[in-house]
Structure 1
């Protein structure tokens, strides 16, 4: 039996669609919340068992591992240690964990927690008594639908504002990955244990792209004449500190601004070579999302 967390979330829904498209015929146990929209699960025609529970509850995690052969943990890196420990106790063969390329950031709040989790997992993997295979997938900035927390904000910004400030001229590199490509990658990794077991993969977009070029593509798709003004990183950080001070810490964008000046592009060659990962172009992906935005606006 396959255990899945986060299947009703953004990337989880695309993983579910891959299970449906490929007529996955094994039993699937899905952990959901009481507030989750499970209509896609109910209409999937797959052999799905829904279990309502809290991943913060170790007893619950241990209980749902009974009879499980493989785990696809999509929901929240901060539960990974408990998921893996419960899997080992229940002699689960393999666990696939969805983490983040945020682990590479030079800024403390963005990466320290992720590094600590993966360091602990490395110790677990190296334990001679550990018979559970652990595979880690690290998506970069995820986009693809209006529910994402990244490009959807950029699209709304460009649609509303004539003039947009960009840190350091927007010359920092990012490599956004479309949720559709992640759904396919998750499924392929699940079905390719010989090639992927025990490995760690960065899952990024087709190629790096400058932030300013992201904004320009969005502006073009929206048919806008947007003016972009370069703001020095130091000024952006100072303004974020002022905002944090006057709001008594309630609004803290300091590190978010700092990361706008940080290159966030990473190679996915290992994934391409091991299991044929080939993501779509950003131009294609952002066109889909902008069209969703325009359709909603109409």
Structure 2
């Protein structure tokens, strides 16, 4: 059990891909952890208090909080932050996305709206923190993998395992830079101890920039089962997107480079992400961690 004098880290999105790696890192760093998510985690650690709540209506007592980390939806977190009192000097680390810039010129109106919304909430977070004297850092990851719950690569692997067929997107030429969720968790933990990273928006991509074909080849090799590659021409996807009115932005980006510049994160956080060498375990859900008594939160709760 962490001493009662240990600082408290409030972690939002704790049951998500990054949160599952972040919680052990926080506890190892000496933090007492209050983990927040809409679904309770599994009971496994007496040093962790798990708060089950929807941020839209919850008010969480913030006395004794030394750091706040959000690795869940940025908009809900910022709206909570705007109405919650935090002591000056509290460290705030929030996960955004490279989609804030990469989807700004998408052919899909919904994706352009997503980009604008991410930028809006990044700016709101900055204004709120600056006004309250909070030290903020925003991280912008690329394609996240590693916890088996992402909506990009893991569904592809599950389809291949089920059918023994691996869709090969023929004609996709864009570069990709997948980043492991644990490397992002390490970046969050490092930001808490890096005053030089305060007031920064940092791009956090993976350790390799890969042609799309190489990405697909490594994913296919990591499925854990033998699969047959089935070419799917990009022209066919483009036609389907035009006829259905959906997915034009996705098809457009298959020919675009979606990468990040890790130089600033490397200098300020010591961020050195791993190369993209997935194994079959990357595509299986990692169990959540939780405290012995998950607490349902309606309107308020007290810190431990």
Selected match of 1:29 from 34, 37, 41? 34
* TM-score, normalisation: structure 1: 0.79
Q: 1:64 aligns with which of 61, 66, 74?
A: 61
Name the structure 1 match of 2:207.
Answer: 206
Change (3 A) 1:87 1:203: farther
Cα distance change on mapping 1:158 and 1:210 into 2, 3 Å: farther
Displacement after TM superposition at 1:163 (Å): 6.7
8 Å contact from structure 1 (residues 68, 92) kept in 2: no
Q: Which has the higher helix share?
A: 1
1:181 CA drift (Å): 1.3
Q: Decide whether aligned partners of structure 1 residues 207 and 26 sit closer, same or farther in structure 2, where only a CA change above 3 A counts.
A: closer
Any idea what the Cα deviations from partners look like across 1:234-290, whole Å, max 9, x if unmatched? x5333123235xxxxxxx43333333333211111111111211111112x355426
Alignment match of 1:85 (pick from 82, 86, 101) = 82
Closer, same or farther: CA 37–89 of 1 in aligned 2, 3 Å: closer
- 2:180 corresponds to which of 178, 181, 192: 178
Mapped to 2, the partners of 1:90 and 1:147 lie a distance apart of: 34
Question: 1:168-207, CA deviations, whole angstroms, 9 ceiling, x for partnerless residues?
Answer: x1211111111121222222222x2323222221111112
Aligned-residue offset at 1:161? 5.8
CA contact (8 A) 1:84 1:95 kept: no
Computed over aligned residues only, the root mean square deviation of the Cα atoms, in angstroms, reads 2.6
Instruction: Deviation per CA, 1:59-90: give whole Å up to 9, x if none.
Output: x33x4323322101111111232233245555
What is the CA-CA distance between 1:223 and the residue it aligns to? 4.0
User: Given the alignment of the two structures, is residue 38 of structure 1 paired with residue 42 of structure 2, yes or no?
Assistant: yes
Contact 2:166/2:228 (8 A) holds in 1: no
C-alpha contact (below 8 Å) 1:206/1:280 kept by paired residues: yes
The residue aligned with 1:112 is: 116
1:265 aligns with 2:259: yes
- SS at 1:226's partner residue? strand
Structure 1 residues 212 and 110: CA distance shift in structure 2, 3 A: farther
Distance 1:200 1:241, change over 3 A: same
Q: Secondary structure at the match of 1:262?
A: coil
Q: How does 1:172-251 map to 2 (within 5 A)?
A: 172-190=174-192, 192-221=193-222, 222-232=225-235, 235-244=236-245
Q: Is the 8 A contact 1:158 1:215 kept in 2?
A: no
- Counterparts of 1:122-141 in structure 2, within 5 Å, are 122-124=126-128, 129-141=131-143
1:151 lines up with 2:123 in the alignment? no
- Contact persistence 1:219–1:225 (CA under 8 A): no
**Cα distance, 1:152 vs structure 2:** 0.9
Corresponding residue for residue 293 of structure 2: none
1:120 Cα offset (Å): 2.9
Alignment check: 8 A CA contact 1:77 1:114 kept: yes
**Relative contact order, CA 8 A, sep 6+: which one is greater?**
2
- In structure 1, the residue matched to 2:51 is 51
Instruction: Measure the CA separation in 2 of the matches of 1:122 and 1:136.
Output: 9
2: CA distance, partners of 1:31 / 1:92: 21
Q: 1:88 to 1:210 in 2, by over 3 A?
A: farther
Q: Is the 8 A contact 1:88 1:131 kept in 2?
A: no
Aligned residues: 268
Unaligned runs of 5+ in 2: 1-7, 107-111, 286-304
